[in-house]
Structure 1
Amino acid sequence: MMESVDEKKIEAIPNSESASESLSSPSSPTTLSPWTGYLQILSGHLMIFDTFGYIGSWGLFQSYYISTLGRSQSDISWIGSLQIFLIYFVGTFSGRVLDAGYLRTTLAVGCSLQIIGIFTTASATAYWQILLSQGICVGLGDGLIFCPMISLISTYYEKNRALAVSFAAAGAATGGMVFPSIARQLIPTLGEPWAVRVMGFVFTFNSVIALIVVRPKVAPRKSGAFIEWEAFKELPYLLYAIGIFLSLWGLYFAYFYISIFGSKILHVPSAPSFYLIIAINGIGLPGRIFPAYLATHVVGNALYVLIPLTFSAGVLLYLWKYITSYNGFLAWIIVYGFFANAVQSLFVGSVGSLTKDPQKMGVRVGMIFSIISFACLTGPPIAGALIDLDKGNFLYAQIFGITSVVCGSAVLVAAAIASKR
């Protein structure tokens, strides 16, 4: 069972946002119930449901926008990759906000931007409008939410940090099944605008619940920069940043293009293509939780589990080029989705294992997020440009993905070795 929140006397964080933001130190000791920690995981699950669950459905949006807007693969993928970029890039700033004690305010602003972006996307008809609403507005909201929530959960758990974070990160899997299902059921009957509005109502419900139960644990650290340059003088941290950049550079492009590969290369009708999106997201439930349990209760270090999983994802990208049938592709997606989801879940817990001071958790996790944001921004459009260059074939993009992920796993090995010295 996951470890409960430390029940020793700790310094309390005032419940009201105004109180927590006006005091530089806590006022009185209290005891946190284990349920407080569990509720933070629930809050994180709901918010990641709205962030990566929505992004995990991008394959459907990619196909839809290409058919309705008449733009290239690379042009459309910039919308989704910009959204992922902002999730991670804004992490440097939103992570530091957690350390400073402004958690609930930051989350409220982020949720508001998400909801505004979703509802304006429903009314958008031009490429630039969708880029602004879905790419930038929703992306900014995601960035204000994701890093603080992951960092918050990390402060509640030490021994079982990777497992706790993975339960929250599994929201990407549940959201990645719910949002495509909404699109599948409602677009044919109500149209795309109302399907997106219903998604907006789901965002609103999740946001209200999450904001009610969220509560910081660590005392605010008012001083300190948004970037801790000293961290890069630690060789394990530096190598880890490089390794995870390379790994995620090639990891995400499958999420963007599996639907297109199914329809254009395998000539699969739209209905079966929908199940490809469901499969790669649905497998994220065991993919995010089981490896985290292994890292926590068997191996004892998330980084040691992350490395072979990352390498395996690279090998699977190599095998992609041999897929010639729908059933074979579906099987490949299930296996690849397991490893890819595991990598996305464990890399956050691995950052925590390299951070000894919990008061620096937010800024250090945020720094890694900002570094990999550029991998997420450029990776899918590069893959799209390579697909266009290869006249619609996927070989060039697959080679790009294989190379970056395998090289990234090699650098992660170096980071693990350096951390032992």
Structure 2
Amino acid sequence: MASSTFAERTTPGALTDTEGNISDQSTATGIPSPSRASSEKASPIAAAPATAAPDAEKQPSTGPPPGGPWGAGPPPPNGGFSAWLQVASVFFIFFNTWGLLNTFGIFQTYYESPDSIFQPPGSVSSSNISWIGSIQSFMVLLGGLISGPLYDRGYLKQLICLGAFGVVFGHMMLSLAKEYYQALLAQGFVVGLGAGMMFTPGVAVLQSYFSTKIGLATGLAAAGSSFGGVVYPIVFYRLIDRIGYGWSVRVIGFIALGTLAVPVVFLKQRSKPGRVRAFVDMTAFSDGPYMLFTFGAFVGFIGLYTMLFYLSFFGLDTGATDPAMAFYIVPILNAASMFGRTLPNWLSDRVGPFNILIPGALVCGGLTLGMIGVKGLGAIIAIAILFGFFSGVFIALPTVCYIVLTKDKSRLGSRIGMGYAFLGLATLIGGPGGGAILQQTGSGGGHNWTGMWTFGGVMLLASGVLFAVLRGWRFGVRLMMKA
């Protein structure tokens, strides 16, 4: 979004913040600006006749050239081949970022099995194994702290190429791992940071192509994470007995290479702010709604990861499922979440993202607490389907919420990156924290599943309450209103 002084900018509807940055909220959000008409009438600059500046032809051109790649450009098209091609590109970014994160439950189950690369069996604890997935998730979200501001500076293509290399190279190195620290470095740090270079720019780029349909576009793109969470576990499980661990992981790397070619080639940044922002937007810390939403999502992510990491292992450990079926619990959950990341987002364009996020968090909390009484395979599958559907809001809607809460869209990349970096800390608590509780002796001398499910469920319920408080503060307490 181009920046200029107010005296130089005469385009109707352009607003300025205290730093002199141009922000046209009507083009950024699709909502007409109420100050547009009044600013045209009240501004002496806008009312001045053309003869008031006889040397105007000598002055530099005001504003960006029409359609310029670095200017504000026209309003988001909200459709068309180019816009939907961006959605397809971001779909494959989700496929290889959150799709891989959603796959870690299958690795957790494998790493704890007698056939694990970590020998002898049981030499690495559940909590330590979960650190691999937690660090991978943390790096994906922490990467936004770097990639968000770099996206604002126009380095989208470089970030996507660097991230794609990290994901593919990390899997090739993981295929050679024999020790715990090797898997931690390759799968946790290299794959995680590579995915982090792509995720925040991928979700941020859509807001320049969509305004009134941003929820639908983000939901369709986020479905890629569910699709990846179905494909990758099945590929891993079906191949590991045939070609071994090493080549199974290499196949995953080759799938990532092929699918990431789509965003590398086609993802395009439509515009970038003219003013270079700091990597950390300090104004965010005084933005109450932004901070409350980030904290609420942080609490929710803690609970979310207890279910994502341990649901598959729960069936195997308690004897509710056989080893073969335990590996299919993760794909079942992710298949259900494909609908949970499209339908609620489509509905959010009509009723508002917070009206979808609040019940989603509360239902996820109730389902997690319900795991305390689960005994058989049928109940596990039922909860996997329901949790997969409702948990989709935690992946697909935070970006939409950040777009709604960020008035100055030139700060969007930095704010999304900062928010997700903070959420990354939750992954370091949810997985290992749940694992630490699990290792405590439970009833009957086994794992403490009751304590772990209680921990995750309470966190998710608290998240729903915090979102409800934010909705009342930011939008009011009336139920029948878009928020």
- Global fold match (TM > 0.5): yes
Q: Which residue of 2 aligns with 1:210?
A: 263
- TM-fit CA distance, 1:92: 1.6
Shift of 1:386: 0.3
Mapped to 1, the partners of 2:316 and 2:410 lie a distance apart of 48
Residues 225 and 365 (structure 1 numbering): CA distance in 2 closer, same or farther, change over 3 Å?
Answer: same
Matched, 1:193 2:251: no
Contact 2:152 2:276 in 1 (8 A): no
Higher relative contact order (Cα pairs below 8 Å, separated by 6+ residues): 1
Tell me the residue number matched to 2:388: 337
Q: State, as a whole percentage, how many aligned pairs show the same letter.
A: 30
Sort the Cα spacing of 1:31 and 1:272 in 2 relative to 1 into closer, same or farther, 3 A: closer
Residue equivalent to 2:461: 406
Partner of 2:372 in structure 1? 321
Secondary structure class of the residue paired with 1:207: helix
Judging changes above 3 Å, is the alpha-carbon distance between structure 1 residues 185 and 165 closer, same or farther for their aligned structure 2 residues?
Answer: same
Distance 1:315 1:295 in 2: 22
Partner residue, 1:224: 277
Contact 1:82 1:377 (C-alpha < 8 Å) held by counterparts: yes
Say whether 1:260 aligns with 2:313: yes
Q: Which runs of 5+ in 2 are unaligned?
A: 1-28, 31-64, 477-483
Separation (CA, whole Å) in 2 of partners of 1:388 and 1:87: 27
CA distance in 1, matches of 2:425, 2:371: 25
* Residue 147 of structure 1 pairs with residue 200 of structure 2: yes
Give the residue type in structure 2 aligned to 1:416. R
AA paired with 2:89? S
Which has the larger helix fraction? Answer: 1
Distance 1:169 1:28, change over 3 A: closer
Change (3 A) 1:31 1:358: closer
1:359 to 410, 414, 418: 410
Would the alpha carbon gap of residues 282 and 27 (structure 1) be closer, same or farther in structure 2, given more than 3 Å must change? Answer: closer
Please identify runs of 4+ aligned residues in structure 1 that moved more than 6 A: 27-33
In structure 1, what is the Cα distance between the partners aligned to 2:344 and 2:232?
Answer: 25
After TM superposition, the structure 1 = structure 2 runs for residues 67-106 of structure 1, keeping only pairs within 5 Å, are: 67=113, 68=116, 69=118, 70-106=123-159
Report the TM-score, using the length of structure 2 for normalisation: 0.80
Aligned to 1:178: 231
Question: Could you say if the C-alpha distance between residues 191 and 419 of structure 1 is closer, same or farther in structure 2, counting changes exceeding 3 Å?
Answer: same
CA distance in 2, matches of 1:153, 1:251: 25
- 1:387 and 1:261 map into 2 onto residues whose CA distance is 10
Show the counterpart of 1:16.
none
Q: How many residue pairs get matched?
A: 402
The answer as to 2:449 corresponding to 1:394 is yes
Matched, 1:285 2:338: yes
Q: CA deviation at 1:79?
A: 0.2
- Cα deviation, 1:28-50, whole Å, max 9, x if unaligned, reads 98997821111111111011101
Match of 2:168 among 98, 102, 115: 115
* Shift, 1:148, TM fit: 0.6
Q: 2:222 aligns with which of 164, 169, 173?
A: 169
TM-score normalised by length of structure 1: 0.91
Aligned to 2:57: none
Determine the structure 2 residue equivalent to 1:250: 303
* Residue-by-residue CA offset, 1:325-364 (whole Å, 9 max, x unaligned): 0011101110111111222211221111111222211111
User: Which of 1 and 2 has greater Rg?
Assistant: 2
Q: Does 1:57 align with 2:103?
A: yes
User: In structure 2, how many angstroms separate the alpha carbons of the residues matched to 1:27 and 1:303?
Assistant: 28
Mapped partners of 1:38, 1:241: distance in 2: 29
